[in-house]
Amino acid sequence: MLKETLSFIGGGNMARSLIGGLIAQGLPATQIVVSDPIEAQRQSLMKQYGVQTTSDNLAAAAQAQVIVLAIKPQEMQSVAQQLAPALTKQQPLVISVAAGIRADALQRWLGGLAVVRTMPNRPALNGCGVTGMFAPPQVTATQRELAQRIMGAVGKAVWVQQETLIDAVTAVSGSGPAYFFLLMELLEAAGVKLGLPQDTARTLAIETAYGSGLMAREVSDPPGVLREQVTSKGGTTEAALKVFAANDMQRIVDDAVKAAALRSAELAEQLGSK
């Protein structure tokens, strides 16, 4: 397990999920300090995990080998600039879980510290997320491994070699849960229109999504092969898939994901231009 002391700046949902995952893997709570301005948040973290808490960002960051920035993107510049003078000597690894803040902006605000930018997604709150990660060249192999172990506490972690690809990660997996929730929502509504009780239609839609995801995760076949395996020629599934194809579902998905990626890039430009 990690020997480093971790400081979380921000104690919201993502920080809480990471803390829970790390402690479940054996990290002592004594190695974690959390800073958050909300007293109820601090009390809840202390009660649930036994970690040290404070309302003082500088106190939380003192002596930490890893700083996890888990605050709102709009707060990032001011918090980073507040921390920068105190972190110059200890040179910690900084991991950002904030959407839309580019690594070069963080490095500039932090005075040149090693920064790993990450894009986790909502299922990380349940320990089954996936995180896209990017590290600039000055981040060492040891620091990359450390960052991956930390983010791996809440699911899988994958690296991209170009930071611009974080926008694609955001579009596919960051926003992706909403796409699957929408499909479940639409399947439920379609089932109701066919006469199913709503609770039955919802259970069928959700459990089918869960089982399909689990199946895709645990086998080596790509999703396209799995789709073919459950599609009998002349059967019900083929009839449904023909409707999707006729309405150009591939184009719809392409356009939607492209729109999300473009918006991610726009937000990064706005948030990092100061």
DSSP assignment string, 83-109? HHHHHTTT--EEEE--TT--HHHHHHH
- C-alpha span between 164 and 264 (Å, rounded): 10
Segment (H or E) for 211: helix 198-218
Give the tokens for residue 220: 């080596």
Res. 190: pLDDT tops 90:
yes
Res. 272: pLDDT tops 70:
no
Res. 261: pLDDT tops 60:
yes
CB 215 within 8 A of CB 229: no
Res. 46: pLDDT tops 90:
yes
Average pLDDT estimate for 179-208:
98
In the chain the domains, ranked by start, together with CATH numbers, are 6-163 (3.40.50.720), 176-264 (1.10.3730.10)
Average pLDDT estimate for 105-126:
93
Give the tokens for residue 207: 């459990």
Per cent of the chain over pLDDT 90 is 91
- Model pLDDT, residue 68: 97
Average pLDDT estimate for 1-26:
92
pTM: 0.91
Average pLDDT estimate for 58-83:
94
Res. 92: pLDDT tops 70:
yes
Strand ordering across the sheet containing 115-119:
52-54, 32-35, 6-9, 66-69, 93-96, 115-119, 129-134, 155-159
Average pLDDT estimate for 6-24:
94
Res. 274: pLDDT tops 70:
no
Beta strands per DSSP E along the chain: 6-9, 32-35, 52-54, 66-69, 93-96, 115-119, 129-134, 155-159
- Model pLDDT, residue 273: 54
Name the more confident of 125 and 192: 192
Average pLDDT estimate for 242-265:
97
Task: Give Cβ neighbours of residue 93 (< 8 Å, ≥ 6 apart).
Answer: 65, 66, 67, 113, 114, 116, 139, 143, 146, 147
Average pLDDT estimate for 211-228:
96
CB 33 within 8 A of CB 68: no
- Model pLDDT, residue 268: 86
